[in-house]
């Protein structure tokens, strides 16, 4: 009797079995109802398990596509929109990835640039994935669409591409077929009439397996079903009539991208309820018939084989667990990894121990690598508290501030704001920015070294918080930029001296030039009748040369004044600036009977008013000037807002531009046409380029060749657009 009640696993198993025999009659009576519920629950579990399996497959697929697109987007040929190189690379990339339908590169307007598999050119600007990728700057998911290659429903992800100036250069997209889920679905071996369904974010059917003509792809599911699938719970299960009005066991799962709150896809499994119960009814009678014999056999087997099959292996697992707990990472169960539960438990334990040992090794290597980076970095690395004490600094940080070692600096600096910052308010501004944004990049500030000398540094840091509103510390890097600041100051001083020199030269040179011109004209008037034709021609050339030199000096002076002797940056009505430019050119327009067509949206921009007017006037003047004498000038001016920039295009039907000469267009005193045929100083376009650069924009010229007209396009960044009420709203 004592042996029977000893606290061993074998005795516990026997006692449990005996306890199960006592209410046997009640269990048999209640089994029918329980088995019915269990069948439903089992059906739900199977459906949920399959949904979870498909969810993991979709998650890994999304992560792999996102990683692939992020990697591809940083390739130089992709950033440069090199169609030929990208097409060849995409084709090679698709060969080992049969689940991908295609990889496509599109420009910022949504036009196809390159694709891995041949496809007719098309535009995706209206697609959900393109719009959201451009709007969020992150990976975006698509919606229901038919594959251009396969002709079957497919799904796409898109990622924006930015150039060196962080302007949108294009979008890269990858699509895959839902057929890859079919194999996983079939391996689950669910009842024959089980259905796999995939819906997009609006409840449209992306995919159904097995397919059915009366449930076509692209059709929206009923509202009552979609309200359940798109509810607040990201996953769930329910018994509900299917599309064929027959009760089904539904399990579903919503999918989200990391930065979104709206699901981009829903996967559901629907098991026919009667099929789920059919197996349970048959199993009920079978199990009742075998119950008696099974119980008897279980008693005998538990007593005979529990020691060898259960107790000994469990003892080994307990011993290995204790060793692992004591720090022996080499501890293993020494049990065979058989397919039974104990074998699986032993395998899981051994894998966990091996993984823990490997992770510990990698952690030590990572710590050593970080320590090397921390100690050998040429940039200062730090951690500081909100109160102004350093927790951690490296040798480079100490050297920047004149200390021999990090320990010496940590001991000496008790208050960062008072001891290091030249102005304590700068540290307040830094921490305010960190608390508002969570990080700062290249925060330039004046600080002092140990010996009291001032230095300029650039700080990039992030805030580490225990929870929102409770920062623990800030960590980041600090770079000494004193040399750069000194160079910038020297450049500013040199530019000021250069401007003063140019102004003095132009002012001092114009006075004698005017005297020369005046005396030459006086000589021409007094000696005109007595001069020979050659002498009169020489005198004429002298007067014209002096006047041309005076015009060049004036143009050079105007060029040097851009950004200096002009009105300050302020909100300016762009259409009013255009109207003013047109008014200045009104005599030329009337003389040439020119036709000017103005279109597009003309917003309020942040610019220098007189520089903006001069920019528009110069471009319009060129468009009116460079026409054949017998032609009526026709000029089109179009304005639009794109990617945070205000773009203006001035097009004409004039003499055009030789493509080989485009590089000379914006050079000072560079002319492509003879001065006799088209007079001018040769500074107009150079002045336009400098005005645009002063505003942080760009300008370029386009032409199909001589005699085909030309288009000059410039773009200025929009820092704000005024609403009708006068309030400022940020641009997208």
For 426-435, the pLDDT digits (tens) are 888 988 888 8
Q: What is the pTM of this model?
A: 0.38
Residue 153 · residue 145 · CB < 8 Å: yes
User: Stretch 47-64: mean pLDDT, rounded?
Assistant: 83
587 shares its domain with 721: yes
550 shares its domain with 624: no
pLDDT at residue number 367: 62
- Domain that includes residue 546, residue range: 486-561
pLDDT at residue number 11: 63
User: Stretch 270-284: mean pLDDT, rounded?
Assistant: 70
Only one residue has tokens 């538990």, namely 302
pLDDT at residue number 543: 64
590 shares its domain with 537: no
Residue 436 has pLDDT above 90, yes or no: no
581 in any annotated domain: yes
In the chain, % of residues over pLDDT 70:
75
- Among 480, 513, 541, residue at a domain's last position: 480
pLDDT at residue number 471: 84
pLDDT at residue number 3: 47
Determine which of 337-346, 533-542, 596-605 has the lowest per-residue pLDDT on average.
533-542
Q: What confidence category does residue 4 fall into, taking pLDDT thresholds of 50, 70 and 90?
A: very low
- Among 276, 300, 320, residue at a domain's last position: 276
Backbone torsions φ then ψ of 259, nearest 5 degrees: -105, 15
Residue 13 · residue 302 · CB < 8 Å: yes
Q: What confidence category does residue 491 fall into, taking pLDDT thresholds of 50, 70 and 90?
A: confident
Residue 702, classed as helix, strand or coil, is strand
Query: Which stretches does DSSP call E strand in 626-709?
Result: 634-642, 645-652, 698-702
pLDDT at residue number 174: 92
516 shares its domain with 531: yes
141 shares its domain with 260: yes
**Residue 163 CB contacts under 8 Å (≥ 6 apart), including other chains:** 79, 169
DSSP code per residue over 571-628: EEEHHHHHHHHHHHTHHHHHHHT-EEEEEE---EEEEEHHHHHHHHHHHHHHHHHSS-
46 shares its domain with 101: yes
209 shares its domain with 135: yes
pLDDT at residue number 728: 34
87 shares its domain with 163: yes
pLDDT tens track for 302-318: 555 555 666 677 777 77
153 in any annotated domain: yes
CA distance 446 to 45: 64
Q: What's the CATH number where 154 sits?
A: 3.30.450.20
Residue 567 has pLDDT above 70, yes or no: yes
Residue 608 has pLDDT above 90, yes or no: no
Residue 182 · residue 92 · CB < 8 Å: no
Q: What's the CATH number where 710 sits?
A: 3.30.565.10
CA distance 390 to 383: 6
Residue 73 · residue 66 · CB < 8 Å: no
**What average pLDDT does the chain have?**
79
Domains identified in the chain, total number: 4
pLDDT tens track for 507-540: 666 567 666 777 677 777 777 677 777 767 676 6
Residue 221 · residue 191 · CB < 8 Å: no
Closest CA to 575 of 623, 621, 638, 618: 638
pLDDT at residue number 37: 67
């Amino acid at each position: 009797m004592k042996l029977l009640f000893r606290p061993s696993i074998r005795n516990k198993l026997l006692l449990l079995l005996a306890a199960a025999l006592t209410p046997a009659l009640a269990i048999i009576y209640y089994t029918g109802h329980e088995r019915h519920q269990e069948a439903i629950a089992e059906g739900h579990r199977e459906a949920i398990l399959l949904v979870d399996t498909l969810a993991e497959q979709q998650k890994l697929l999304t992560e792999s596509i996102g990683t692939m697109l992020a990697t591809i987007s940083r390739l130089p040929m992709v950033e440069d929109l090199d169609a030929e190189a990208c097409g060849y690379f995409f084709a090679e990339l698709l060969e080992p990835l049969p689940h991908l339908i295609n990889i496509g590169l599109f420009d910022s307007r949504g036009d196809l640039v390159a694709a891995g598999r041949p496809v007719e050119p098309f535009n995706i600007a209206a697609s959900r994935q393109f719009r959201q990728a451009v709007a969020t700057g992150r990976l975006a998911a698509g919606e229901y669409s038919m594959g251009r290659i396969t002709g079957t429903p497919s799904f796409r992800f898109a990622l924006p591409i930015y150039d060196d100036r962080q302007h949108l250069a294009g979008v890269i997209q990858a699509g895959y077929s839902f057929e890859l889920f079919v194999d996983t679905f079939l391996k689950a071996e669910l009842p024959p009439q089980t259905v796999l369904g995939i819906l997009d974010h609006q409840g449209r059917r992306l995919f159904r397996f097995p397919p059915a003509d009366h449930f076509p792809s692209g059709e929206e599911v009923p509202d009552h079903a979609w309200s359940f699938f798109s509810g607040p719970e990201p996953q769930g299960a329910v018994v509900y009539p299917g599309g064929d009005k027959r009760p089904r066991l539904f399990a579903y799962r919503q999918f989200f991208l990391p930065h979104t709150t709206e699901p981009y896809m829903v996967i559901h499994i629907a098991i026919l309820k009667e099929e789920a119960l059919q197996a349970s009814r048959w199993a009920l009678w079978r199990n009742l018939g075998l119950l008696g014999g099974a119980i008897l056999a279980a008693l005998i087997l538990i007593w005979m084989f529990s020691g060898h099959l259960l107790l000994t292996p469990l003892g080994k697992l307990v011993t290995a667990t204790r060793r692992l707990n004591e720090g022996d990472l080499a501890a293993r169960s020494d049990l065979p990894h058989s397919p039974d539960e104990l074998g699986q438990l032993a395998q899981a334990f051994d894998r966990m121990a091996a993984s823990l040992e490997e992770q510990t090794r990698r952690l030590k290597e990572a710590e050593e690598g970080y320590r090397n980076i921390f100690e050998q970095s040429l940039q200062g690395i730090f951690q500081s508290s909100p109160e102004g004490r350093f927790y951690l600094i490296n040798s480079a940080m100490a050297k920047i501030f004149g200390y021999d070692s990090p320990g010496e600096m940590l001991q000496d600096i008790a208050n960062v704001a008072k001891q290091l910052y030249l102005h304590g308010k700068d540290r307040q501004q830094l921490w305010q920015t960190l608390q508002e944004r969570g990080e700062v990049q290249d925060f330039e500030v004046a600080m002092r070294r140990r010996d009291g000398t001032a230095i300029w540094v650039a700080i990039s840091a992030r805030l580490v918080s225990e929870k929102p509103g409770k920062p623990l510390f800030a960590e980041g890097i600090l770079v000494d930029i004193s040399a750069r600041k000194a160079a910038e100051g020297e450049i500013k001083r040199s530019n000021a001296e250069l401007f003063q020199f140019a102004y003095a030269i132009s002012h001092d040179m114009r006075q004698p030039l005017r005297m020369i011109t005046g005396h030459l004209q006086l000589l021409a008037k007094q000696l005109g009748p007595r001069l020979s034709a050659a002498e009169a021609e020489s005198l004429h050339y002298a007067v014209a040369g002096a006047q041309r030199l005076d015009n060049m000096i004036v143009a050079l002076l105007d060029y040097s004044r851009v950004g200096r002797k002009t009105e300050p940056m302020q909100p300016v009505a762009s259409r009013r600036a255009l109207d003013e430019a047109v008014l200045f050119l009104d005599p030329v327009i009337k003389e040439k009977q020119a036709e000017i067509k103005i279109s597009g949206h003309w917003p309020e921009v942040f610019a220098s008013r007189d520089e903006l007017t001069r920019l528009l006037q110069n471009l319009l003047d060129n468009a009116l000037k460079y026409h054949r004498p017998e032609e009526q000038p026709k000029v089109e001016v179009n304005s639009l807002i794109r990617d945070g920039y205000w773009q203006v295009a001035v097009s004409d039907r004039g003499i055009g531009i030789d493509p080989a000469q485009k590089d000379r267009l914006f050079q000072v005193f560079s002319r492509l046409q003879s001065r006799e045929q088209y007079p001018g100083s040769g500074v107009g376009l150079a002045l336009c380029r400098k005005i645009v650069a002063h505003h942080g924009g760009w300008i370029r010229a386009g032409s199909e060749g001589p005699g085909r007209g030309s288009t000059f396009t410039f773009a200025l960044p929009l820092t704000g657009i005024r609403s009708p009420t006068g309030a400022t709203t940020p641009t997208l």
